[in-house]
């Protein structure tokens, strides 16, 4: 694994990484190298002492903290949330990637226009709120405005492109064949080397038929943990994800808590507030059962309260699961 020295001999950093215990470095050494662990976003002030050294300004945390994040022994990937709210340019990606190891992997969320049938009734959409969105599942918009800058700014091997469809994107009675046809058109429009991932948050779509479609078009399945959908084990089984070459797991939220409840109760995300060992065991079971050559597992702060600590415990679970 290519990784900068954690504390020295590395390019000057505007944000310094925390000091890590030898036990954490050893844990990173023994975790199955097929598995990339990381968090959903990275600019949280509550991670001071866990991921970042003391004294980080808010501006530096927002603009310059990813190189320090990437030096965490367990973090070999990260989920990029900011691309959901606006597409990033080639230069944005190059700037973000400065000082980050060359084998680091980005999970890039598609701009929300790609996955919303109608603009949301939200201030950022202005007067368009509630209107039909012409960019929904538009292959040209996805290719030219979303994916092409990633390819140019990062390189095709440095990112997986995630279409994250909210439950509101689908209604009862929607023809799944139309959805699958549009996804097939998107896949064909992208460079062959681009890894396309699809996440759905509707149980009506999580079935063997959809799993077979993803397999046939070499689209990576996403096993996600959010309220209102099947468990990770059930999703993996229904999509037959264990037999795929690549798999994305996203443990984003405690299924028993709403987004707002978790946000308010867990902030500033510096401690485990609602430990969920059962979910951790489920995710470990899904990951260790997979024959994939590349597995990315991202954890959000709203899963247990502090994703860096959740990842450390998950890494221990994964290591123990692989022990004879």
Residue 233 resides in a domain: yes
Residue 2 resides in a domain: no
Cα Rg for the chain, rounded, in angstroms?
Answer: 19
With H, G, I as helix, E, B as strand and everything else as coil, classify residue 123: helix
Q: Give me the pLDDT at residue 11, please.
A: 55
pLDDT (tens digit per residue) in 118-141: 999 888 888 898 899 999 999 999
pLDDT of residue 6 exceeding 80, the answer is no
Residue 149 resides in a domain: yes
Closest-CA residue to 261 (of 224, 227, 231, 229) = 227
Residue 125 resides in a domain: yes
Higher pLDDT, 274 or 129: 274
pLDDT of residue 308 exceeding 80, the answer is yes
Q: Give me the pLDDT at residue 168, please.
A: 86
Residue 10 resides in a domain: no
Work out the mean pLDDT of the chain and round it to a whole number.
Answer: 93
Residue 16 resides in a domain: no
pLDDT (tens digit per residue) in 51-107: 999 989 999 999 999 999 999 999 999 999 999 999 999 999 999 999 999 999 999
Q: Give me the pLDDT at residue 172, please.
A: 61
Q: Which domain holds residue 175?
A: 22-322
Beta strand residue intervals within 238-292, DSSP E: 246-251
Q: Give me the pLDDT at residue 324, please.
A: 53
Q: Give me the pLDDT at residue 13, please.
A: 84
Q: Give me the pLDDT at residue 84, please.
A: 97
Instruction: Please give the structure tokens belonging to residue 221.
Output: 């399945």
Q: Give me the pLDDT at residue 173, please.
A: 63
What average pLDDT does the segment 260-288 reach? Answer: 96
Beta strand residue intervals within 54-131, DSSP E: 75-80, 105-109
Q: Give me the pLDDT at residue 127, please.
A: 86
Q: What CA–CA distance (Å, rounded) separates 123 from 106?
A: 28
Counting residues of the chain whose pLDDT is more than 70, the rounded percentage is 95
By residue count, the chain amounts to 324
The tally of domains found in the chain comes to 1
Q: Give me the pLDDT at residue 203, please.
A: 94
pLDDT of residue 9 exceeding 60, the answer is no
- What are the b/e assignments for 96-123, b being 16+ CB within 10 Å? bbebbbeebbbbbbbbbbbbbeebeeee
pLDDT (tens digit per residue) in 140-178: 999 999 999 999 999 999 999 999 999 888 876 678 899
Residue 208 resides in a domain: yes
Residue 15 resides in a domain: no
Q: 148: domain CATH number? A: 3.20.20.410
């Amino acid at each position: 694994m290519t990784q900068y020295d954690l504390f020295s001999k590395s390019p000057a950093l505007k944000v310094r990484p925390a000091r890590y215990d030898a036990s954490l470095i050893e844990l990173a050494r023994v975790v199955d190298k097929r598995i990339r662990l990381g968090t959903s976003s990275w600019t949280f002030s509550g991670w001071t002492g866990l991921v970042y050294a003391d004294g980080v300004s808010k501006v530096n945390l927002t603009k310059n903290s990813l190189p320090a994040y990437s030096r965490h022994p367990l973090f070999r990937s990260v989920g990029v949330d900011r691309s959901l709210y606006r597409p990033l340019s080639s230069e944005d990606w190059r700037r973000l990637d400065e000082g980050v190891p060359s084998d680091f992997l980005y999970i890039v969320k598609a701009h929300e226009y790609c996955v919303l049938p109608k603009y949301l009734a939200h201030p950022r959409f202005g007067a368009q709120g509630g209107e039909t969105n012409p960019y929904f599942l538009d292959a040209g918009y996805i290719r030219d405005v979303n994916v092409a800058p990633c390819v140019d700014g990062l390189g095709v091997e440095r990112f997986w492109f995630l279409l994250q469809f909210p439950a509101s994107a689908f209604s009862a009675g929607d023809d799944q064949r139309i959805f699958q046809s549009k996804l097939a058109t998107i896949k064909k429009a992208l460079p062959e080397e681009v890894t396309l991932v699809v996440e759905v948050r509707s149980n009506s779509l999580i079935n063997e038929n959809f799993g077979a479609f993803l397999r046939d078009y070499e689209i990576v399945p996403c096993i996600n943990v959010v309220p209102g959908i099947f468990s990770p084990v059930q999703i993996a089984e229904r999509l037959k994800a264990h037999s795929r070459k690549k798999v994305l797991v996203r443990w984003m939220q405690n299924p028993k808590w709403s987004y707002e409840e978790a946000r308010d109760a867990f902030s500033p995300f510096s401690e485990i507030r609602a430990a969920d060992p059962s979910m951790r065991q489920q995710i470990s079971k899904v990951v260790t059962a997979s024959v994939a050559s590349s597995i990315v597992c991202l954890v959000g702060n709203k899963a247990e309260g502090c994703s860096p600590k959740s990842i450390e415990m998950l890494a221990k679970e994964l290591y123990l699961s692989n022990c004879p």
